[in-house]
Chains A and B, each alone.
Chain A
Amino acid sequence: MVNTPEKPELHWNRKEHDNLILRLAGMWRIGKAIPSSEQVKKEIEGSSDLRRISFDTERLLAWDSSLLTFLVQLEKECRDRAIETDREGLPEGVQRLLNLATAVPAKKDARRTSAKESLLRRVGRQVLDFGHGSMEMLAFIGEAFLALLKLMSGRARFRRSDLFLFMQQSGAQALPIVSLISVLVGLILAFIGAVQLALFGAQIYVASLVGISMIRVMGAVMAGVIMAGRTGAAFAAQLGTMTVNEEIDALTTLGISPMEFLVLPRMLALFFMMPLLCIYADLMGVLGGLIVGVYMLDLNFWEYVNQTRATVALSNFWIGLTHAAVFGILIALSGCLRGMQCGRSASAVGLAATSAVVTGIVSIVVATAIITVICDILGV
């Protein structure tokens, strides 16, 4: 086809001085170069005596929503200028759809207006939200504590199989990623230390450096961060989805406490598994240091091991384990808290998972600081 007759076209001419005829031709389809209503608008603006617009669609081959949006905009423009539009010349289907689109006037107060708030108001609201959020968190921690007391008195109800499942998921299945991260952290620590210590010919102290830092805090912190991203997010997403599906409501109406049934096994699983993961991460970190020591610093294998054993006191190990157990509870709590607070939509579940990871990692860092200060005061 030479002329490409499908091309949507728009022409206009005046029949009388106050009547404009729009001639629509070709294929008015989404994706084609649809003429803009702006052109007509300019024409309308140019003539103040225009009273009426009519249409000629004899050569219009096909149309879809693109024609409708063009017409709706045009009509709106015309209404504002008190120009009458004559729908007679339009195809019948178009007329009917236009009638349908204009049948119910836009609800004035339905459209959400983002009302401008003053700074003071915004700050105030943020503070109130923060206070509210803190109260919720405290209430949650309190409830979790009560559930724990119930567990100790042997009256808490949850399924043992759930506990073992969570232990498997958060423990054994996390080993590969914990190995990778811990070995790398060990390597990095050894590497940084080696550069400095080699200046004094004190390469052997790389073993002490890696041993103490991994076993005392870094093993637990790295395992904690991994767990927050892996398990904390998973908990939040699980509980969030259960909230969306009304599964938590279903538990509540049966008189089963979601706190005991859902939160407790997750908390216990992480409480038990985190120290084990921490021991594993410690070993892997020391292994990473060993690799650098033996292959880069030419230290003897046994020399390195003996130096580690000689300098890492057992108290370091216990402190590491304490870190890990605390982190386990914090991660489980933040994951479950965000999951239970979840709104009732898919995006809310995403937000809950994100927020669980952020809360988890922040609380890990804060807890590390607190434990470090306590250890300093106690002199261990």
Chain B
Amino acid sequence: MNDSQPVIEVRDLTMAYGSFVLQRDLNFIVKRGDVFIIMGGSGCGKSTLLRHLIGLKAPARGKVLYGDVSFWELDPTERKRMMRGFGVMYQSGALWSSMTLAENISLPLEEYTTLSSRQIDEITALKLALVGLAGFEDYYPAEISGGMRKRAALARAMALDPDILFFDEPSAGLDPISARRLDELILELRDSLGATIIVVTHELASIFAIGNNSVFLDADSKTMIASGDPHRLLTDCEHPTVQNFLTRGQDMRGNGAES
């Protein structure tokens, strides 16, 4: 595995809704095999940044480069083709509620492969088994628990064996044990598939358990204030907001916090 190869490069990215600027001047690089964490407080634009990376929202200014291709300067058809190489797990799971789990996972396969329906069934069963949901093929998303829905969403995100997997708040709404299992699953996928993984989260446990690179978005200054390995940020970064965040506000290193 070549660790230095950049997969995603974000250059001078400014994100805005109309005239309301959410974040400006974002610059960071995601390398192959990274588990890259996008972190920051609520409402700082983490999920919006993800939407820029996966092609749902065009940047107000700046570039998103995949390899050396500028994602948003491609024509829509090319961009769509590129998006097929992404797997995305949405915050709410976003399984198609009118389809069974098996249909959810097989839809991308039916769309983009020429496999026979038996092969598709086999792959679907395999993906469900990978996330511990073997035998749940014919359940509808509404019939299973929240944790199972997240895992099923992960199975769908993996359907086309993507090179890059995006996760929006994977452990939100999960109990600590399910959240940890999901974290382990993410690491396992990275190691076995060689995928690059981008995670939007503010769960400290997850950040330290899986992340090896990160960017920290700040809502007040409207830009990124730190980047790098979260463990190193904890020990080295002097910025009080980052320290506060990574220590749940229990940092006592003289930034005026009393008792």
**B177 vs chain A, min Cβ distance (A):** 25
Contacts of B90 in A (CB 8 A): 246, 249-250
| B97 engages A242 (CB within 8 Å) | yes
State whether A157 and B111 are in contact (beta carbons under 8 Å apart), knowing that A250-B90, A253-B86 are contacts in the complex.
yes
Contacts of A249 in B (CB 8 A): 51, 56, 88, 90, 94
Contacts of A245 in B (CB 8 A): 92-94, 97
With a 10 A CB-CB cut-off, give which of B55, B81, B88, B94 has the most chain A CB atoms: B94
Interface residues in A, total, Cβ within 8 A: 15
Closest to B99 in A: A159
| B92 engages A253 (CB within 8 Å) | no
Bound-state Cα–Cα, A35 to B90, Å: 52
Find residues 216-244 in chain A having any chain B CB closer than 8 Å to their own CB: 238, 241-242
Q: A interface vs B, CB < 8 Å?
A: 157, 238, 241-242, 245-247, 249-256
Q: Which 6 A-B pairs rank lowest in CB-CB distance, beginning with the nearest?
A: A246-B94, A255-B80, A250-B94, A246-B90, A253-B88, A247-B94
Interface residues in B, total, Cβ within 8 A: 24
| B83 engages A247 (CB within 8 Å) | no
Bound-state Cα–Cα, A157 to B107, Å: 11
**A156 vs chain B, min Cβ distance (A):** 12
Given contacts A250-B94, A254-B111, A255-B111, 16 further A-B contacts (CB under 8 A): A157-B111, A241-B97, A242-B97, A245-B92, A245-B97, A246-B90, A246-B91, A247-B95, A250-B96, A250-B156, A252-B56, A253-B55, A253-B86, A254-B107, A255-B84, A255-B112
Is B41 an interface residue when CB atoms closer than 8 A count as contact? no
Is B108 an interface residue when CB atoms closer than 8 A count as contact? yes
Q: B interface vs A, CB < 8 Å?
A: 51, 54-56, 80-81, 83-84, 86, 88, 90-98, 107-108, 111-112, 156
A-B contact pairs, 18 of them (CB 8 A): A157-B111, A242-B96, A245-B92, A245-B93, A247-B97, A249-B94, A250-B94, A250-B95, A250-B156, A251-B96, A253-B54, A253-B56, A253-B86, A254-B111, A255-B81, A255-B83, A255-B111, A256-B108
Contacts of B111 in A (CB 8 A): 157, 254-256
**A39 vs chain B, min Cβ distance (A):** 39
Closest to A162 in B: B98
| B84 engages A250 (CB within 8 Å) | no
| B84 engages A254 (CB within 8 Å) | yes
| B80 engages A247 (CB within 8 Å) | no
**A107 vs chain B, min Cβ distance (A):** 14
Contacts of B95 in A (CB 8 A): 247, 250
